Chain A
Amino acid sequence: MTTYQLTVNGERKEVAVDPGTPLLWVLREELKLTGTKYGCGIGACGACTVHLGGIATRSCLVPVSLIGDRAIVTIEGIAGDAAGRAVQEAWVDKDVVQCGYCQSGQIMSAVALLKAVPRPTDADIEQSMGGNLCRCATYVRIREAIKSAAGQP
């Protein structure tokens, strides 16, 4: 067990875990931030996406020992940011979700996209969202919600 200082959603947190523990399980089990989801454990579905140092990152692949001082933002903290709020509102407005399990990860990927590319094209959207799996296949509405959050018709 090793002790780590993490900055999560703007707050300092201390956890004592095995250094190999993926960030996903630190968030879920130690910090009780269960909005970040386990879907595959191999970075293939995107349900565990968080922002690490501002970059959309699959938290199931990052051992806690490699985080260092990079800030972590999860779905629980994304409303603290204008793009985050706009995406969440667009998601609710377009009634995107079905089961909802993948949507934390979808939203985190979408926010990262809009911060980098405020007016994304369909190709931009497909590239940025391409690794986020939705088994309910809400993709058509995800695309619409991103455009809506970007102020596009």
Chain B
Amino acid sequence: MRSFLQAVPSLNRRSFLRVGTAAAGGLLAALFFDRPANAQEAAPPPPPKNYPPDAFVHVRPDGQIVITVNRVELGQGIQTALPMVLADEMDADWSRVVAEIAPAGEVYKDPILGIQIVGGSSSIPNSFQQYRELGAKMRAMLVAAAADRWHVTADQCRAENSVVYGPGTRSASYAELSTEAAGKAVPEKVRLKDPSQFKIIGQRVRRLDGKAKCDGSQKFGMDVDLPGMKIALVARPPVFGGRVRALDDKDSRSIAGVVDVFEIPLAHGTGVAVVADRFWPAKQARDRLKIDWDLSGIEHADSAELRGRYKKLARTAGLVAISRGDPAAMDRIPAERRVIAEFDFPYLAHTPMEPLNVTVRFDGDRAEAWTTTQMPTFEQLAVAGILGVKPDQVTFHVGFGGGAFGRRGSLDEHVIREAAVIAKRFPRAPVKLIWTREDDVRGGYYRPLFAHRVEIGLGKDGMPLAWKHVVVGQSFLIGSKFEPLAVKNGVDPLLVEGAANAGYSIPNFQVWEHHPKVSVPVLWWRSVGNSHNSFVVETLIDELAARARIDPIAYRLKLLDADAKKQRAVLALLQEKAGWRGSLPPSHAAGIACTEYYGTAVACAVDVSIENNRPRIHRATMAIHCGIAVNPLTLENQCQGGIGFGLTQLMAKGAITLKGGRVEQRNFDGYTPPYMVDAPVTADVHIVPSTDAPTGAGEAPVPAISPAVVNALSRLTGRRYRSLPLTTI
């Protein structure tokens, strides 16, 4: 299965999510450009098919090779992986390669989607071929230049490590040839290497940004520093949608360094911007604002109320997301062979380590922006619309991001819109808008709160014959620019991904969804639908395996679809590598889970005991199948990190809750993601060898861990855990 962000037609059974993929690129672009704010802009031409290699590769006279990467670096390692792909086909000297993040630009759009994006783990699947071709074209042009210089044919030349060798002792470096090569025609077609010829792809290559991130020299958006720059903070309403009724800013304005205080529109209500020459005066001034908020006429969302309401909704059929076999089959299964389970999951904040920030400078007829975003061209358009300039008059710099996990891929560009509104008041002065951690934790755009109800009917052999699953939670696609692309007949596929397509062969299978409208802003959160659906499916499968007295790996292998080849492969590899499961001390238990996310399968086993009434994870073993593993070293790190990120929802304080419309948490003291002691002590990662086309790995390692841990806990305590976070064990 692939996401609509990957837009490659899928051939397998799990095709119901394949909505509108064929027209993805054009449609997405058209949708965006049809928005009223940008109606004056004509739809852009589709991205060129024959990319100019010089937009991506520059061979410097000193032999250094600069590769521009069309994807922002957020920690996932794409600034190393795509250069590896290009350099391999180019036969470049890897030790001389440096990478740069592309600015917003037509040529840097995803070659399949037609938008510039990091999301849905689509970077490698969608740009692997593109970067191979770019590298091969560069190589062909360099070889052609050498052949011409020596009056021989290209066939008589070969390239290796940034040098072209010709007949006899002839040789010339790429640096020497670069000027002549630039004059050569860009070949339309090039032959790519057979995977057996890869020299860089598949190697454990250290990150190009590793050193700069260890000596303090790596600049992030937060580190942008420009002459005359001002710092802006915004006081936001205590309830989403609240508005400023009256403002007393006398105390704030008296603070040295404060430049201005004024009301601004927000995506949800209105707020008060405080602009100062430094962060600290801005923060103090914001703290001293006296704002009378108008909170009338808006919803005061409440987590407890929502859970209750969702739970009731989950007992009713909703929109049909998938239906296979006979919905009435359940009625023929006797009650003693039925399992009914209800689950609920809280709102979750992403809390990337680098708080959200954007710097914008408005010069009257031009503008410049510096930020870290998963969708640069959309944000460039948003800024242009607010400042009344054309998008190409906004020079848009994309910087390294201190994490994102979906949070820097908002569908309404609300952060940069706030920054643009503020910067418009200060012509020629750069303004850096900072969301403090409190703004981030309380500011919405959460993984939605969900309730699930599942009814399972079992055969006499303990295998499921009927499965009815209802998912209830907000949709962030509905009402967004992605709705027409992804939502069909009112069904948001992201709500049920991981449930509707889990890969298990159950003859009578129905999944429904409800997506009530709630005023709390919601957004994708690393591994999206699988973050809750995989928990439901994988804890229930484990429960069924225990009930049938079958080993959980064997049970899954028995139940998986015949064509779930990747899941079968990772389970088989896990069985081999997690032999420790059989020799644990009595106070420990093993738990396993297996998931597939956008074409990448993961199986995970954990060794868990209970310490201080919390799960202690002594070891995690993970097997992953993502086709060609471009950089196994980064992949290993991604898997270990995905495990840690996936544990967020098991933390005792791993929930955002609302009471009377107000978010109850403010910072990491109230919303506490995993620290070192919460993560596995060791995590060994095993990659299924493959020459299949590569699939993404940024999100796939996330969803398996929390069900695996809970499955181990259930073995230790005999209890089932169906309400998260895990406040008690």
Contacts and interface: CB of A to CB of B under 8 A. Distances in A.
Contacts of A100: 75, 209, 212-214, 218, 400, 402
A67 B641 CA distance: 36
A95 B353 contact: no
Interface string B237-271: 00000000000000000001100000000000000
Given A42-B667, A137-B644, A143-B676, A99 B354 contact: yes
A21 to B, nearest CB: 5
Contacts of A3: none
Interface residues of A, number: 60
A73 to B, nearest CB: 11
Nearest to A137: B644
A122 B681 CA distance: 9
B544 interface: no
A50 B644 CA distance: 25
Interface string B396-415: 00001111010000000000
Interface in B641-681: 641-645, 647, 667-669, 673-677, 679-681
B281 interface: yes
Given A44-B668, A99-B75, A101-B220, A135 B405 contact: yes
Given A75-B215, A79-B215, A99 B676 contact: no
A138 to B, nearest CB: 6
A83 to B, nearest CB: 14
Contacts of B351: 135
A126 B618 CA distance: 13
A52 interface: no
Contacts of B346: none
Contact of B675 (A32, A122, A130): A130
Nearest to B351: A135
B643 A137 contact: yes
B215 A135 contact: no
Contact of B676 (A17, A22, A103, A130): A130
B676 A44 contact: no
B225 interface: yes
A104 interface: yes
Residue among B73, B212, B437 with the most chain A CB within 10 A? B437
Nearest to B231: A29
A61 B674 CA distance: 22
B130 to A, nearest CB: 24
Interface string B346-381: 000001111100000000000000000000000000
A126 B677 contact: yes
Interface string B546-573: 0000000000000000000000000000
A138 B278 CA distance: 32
Nearest to B211: A92
Contacts of A17: 280
Given A22-B280, A102-B353, A45 B668 contact: yes
Nearest to A40: B437
Contacts of B400: 99-100
A129 B645 contact: no
Nearest to B642: A137
A138 B668 CA distance: 18
Given A36-B216, A98-B637, A104-B216, A140 B680 contact: yes
Given A42-B667, A76-B216, A136-B641, A95 B675 contact: no
A45 B353 contact: yes
A129 B674 CA distance: 12
Interface string A87-124: 01001110111111111100100000000000000100
B436 A41 contact: yes
B716 interface: no
B353 A101 contact: yes
B667 A41 contact: yes
Contacts of B217: 35, 76
A99 B401 contact: yes
Interface string B73-93: 111110000000000000000
A33 B213 contact: no
A132 interface: yes
Interface residues of B, number: 66
B403 A136 contact: yes
A3 B633 CA distance: 49
Contacts of B668: 40, 42, 44-45, 133
Contacts of A56: none
Contacts of B425: none
A36 B667 CA distance: 19
Residue among B223, B278, B280, B647 with the most chain A CB within 10 A? B280
A7 interface: no
Nearest to B674: A137
A18 B219 contact: no
Given A137-B643, A140-B680, A95 B633 contact: yes
B645 A139 contact: no
A131 B678 CA distance: 11
A77 to B, nearest CB: 9
Contact of B681 (A21, A107, A134, A143): A143
A51 interface: no
Nearest to B204: A95
Nearest to B441: A40
Contacts of B220: 37, 101
A95 B206 contact: yes
Given A102-B353, A103-B213, A138-B637, A34 B219 contact: yes
Contacts of B676: 125-126, 129-130, 132, 134, 139, 142-143
Given A100-B75, A143-B676, A40 B667 contact: yes
B384 interface: no
A131 B675 contact: yes
Nearest to A138: B641
Contacts of A36: 216
Contact of B214 (A88, A135, A139, A143): A88
B50 interface: no
Nearest to A21: B280
A88 B642 CA distance: 24
Interface string B44-82: 000000000000000000000000000001111100000
A126 to B, nearest CB: 5
Contact of A140 (B207, B223, B673, B682): B682
B500 interface: no
Contacts of A42: 437, 667-669
Q: Which 7 pairs of residues, A with B, have the shortest CB-CB distance?
A: A35-B216, A137-B644, A101-B402, A100-B213, A99-B75, A98-B75, A75-B216
Given A35-B216, A93-B206, A133-B673, 5 more contacts: A39-B437, A41-B438, A99-B353, A100-B213, A139-B644
Interface of A: 1, 17-18, 20-22, 25, 28-29, 32-42, 44-45, 47, 74-76, 79, 88, 91-93, 95-104, 107, 122, 125-126, 129-143
13 contacts: A28-B223, A42-B667, A45-B668, A95-B210, A97-B214, A99-B400, A103-B214, A104-B216, A130-B676, A134-B644, A135-B353, A136-B353, A137-B644
Interface of B: 73-77, 206-207, 209-220, 222-223, 225, 256-257, 278-281, 284, 351-355, 400-403, 405, 436-438, 633-634, 637-638, 640-645, 647, 667-669, 673-677, 679-683
